[in-house]
C-alpha cells in the first residue's frame, strides 16, 4: 500500500502550502503522483495493479500486474453495475458471479496506460477509462446482465 506523506513547502506569499509526497511502500524513494492518486484527472475510473519481480521474466511480471489492475477495475465496474441494476429492479442483487463474469469479458481488451518499477523490482501499472468509456462499459455490462438474466 502506498502512503502519501505530507510535505510542507513555503509559498511565495509567505503562507505554508501543503503538498503530498508519494513514496513507494517500505521505501524512501518517491513514486509518481499517479500511483498515490490512483489515476489522472482525465480518467473517471482507474485502478493500479502491481506484481513483484519474478524469475519468470519481465513479460510475465507485466501480464500479472496488468491482470491485478484489470481485476480491480472489474470489481469497481461490477459494483457500479450492481447499483444500476438494483435501482432498475428495485431490489438487492445476488448475481455477483454473473456480473463479475460479464465485467471480466468486457475488460478483456484493456491496456496499461502507465507503468513504473519500484525500488525492489515491483512493477506498478495504471489502467483506466475516461468518463465516456466508463459509461459505455457500464452500459454494456448492464445490458449483457439484463439479457442473460432473462434467458
Could you tell me if residue 23 is inside a domain?
no
More confident residue, 132 or 62: 62
Residue listed under C-alpha cell 480518467: 43
Mean pLDDT, the chain, integer: 76
Question: And the C-alpha cell for 64?
Answer: 500479472
pLDDT at 42: 75
Could you tell me if residue 91 is inside a domain?
yes
Could you tell me if residue 90 is inside a domain?
yes
Could you tell me if residue 62 is inside a domain?
yes
Could you tell me if residue 124 is inside a domain?
yes
The number of folded domains in the chain is 1
pLDDT at 145: 73
Exposed (0-12), middle (13-18) or buried (19+): which is 117, by Cβ within 10 Å?
Answer: middle
pLDDT at 118: 94
For residue 19, the surrounding DSSP H or E stretch is: strand 16-23
Find the CATH number of the domain harbouring 108. Answer: 3.10.129.140
Q: Tell me the residue range of the domain where 102 lies.
A: 39-149
Closest CA to 124 of 134, 111, 114: 114
More confident residue, 117 or 131: 117
Q: What angle do CA 19, 123, 38 make, to 5 degrees?
A: 40
Q: Is the pLDDT at 32 greater than 50, yes or no?
A: yes
Alpha-carbon distance values, 29 to 7, 59, 72, 120 (Å): 14, 24, 25, 10
Tell me the Ramachandran region of residue 99: left when phi exceeds 0, alpha when psi lies from -120 to 50, beta otherwise: alpha
Amino acid at each position: 500500500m502506498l502512503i502519501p506523506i505530507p510535505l510542507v513547502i513555503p509559498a511565495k506569499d509567505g503562507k505554508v502550502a501543503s503538498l503530498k509526497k508519494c513514496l513507494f511502500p517500505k521505501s524512501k524513494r518517491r513514486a509518481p503522483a499517479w500511483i498515490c492518486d490512483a489515476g489522472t484527472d482525465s480518467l473517471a475510473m482507474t485502478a493500479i495493479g502491481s506484481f513483484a519481480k519474478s524469475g519468470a521474466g519481465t513479460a510475465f511480471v507485466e501480464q500479472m500486474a496488468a491482470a491485478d489492475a484489470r481485476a480491480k477495475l472489474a470489481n469497481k465496474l461490477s459494483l457500479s453495475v450492481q447499483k444500476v441494476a438494483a435501482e432498475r429492479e428495485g431490489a438487492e442483487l445476488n448475481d455477483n458471479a454473473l456480473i463479475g463474469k460479464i465485467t471480466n469479458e468486457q475488460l478483456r481488451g484493456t491496456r496499461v496506460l502507465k507503468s513504473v518499477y519500484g525500488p525492489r523490482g515491483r512493477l506498478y501499472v495504471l489502467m483506466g477509462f475516461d468518463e465516456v468509456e466508463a459509461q459505455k462499459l457500464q452500459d454494456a455490462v448492464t445490458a449483457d446482465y439484463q439479457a442473460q438474466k432473462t434467458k
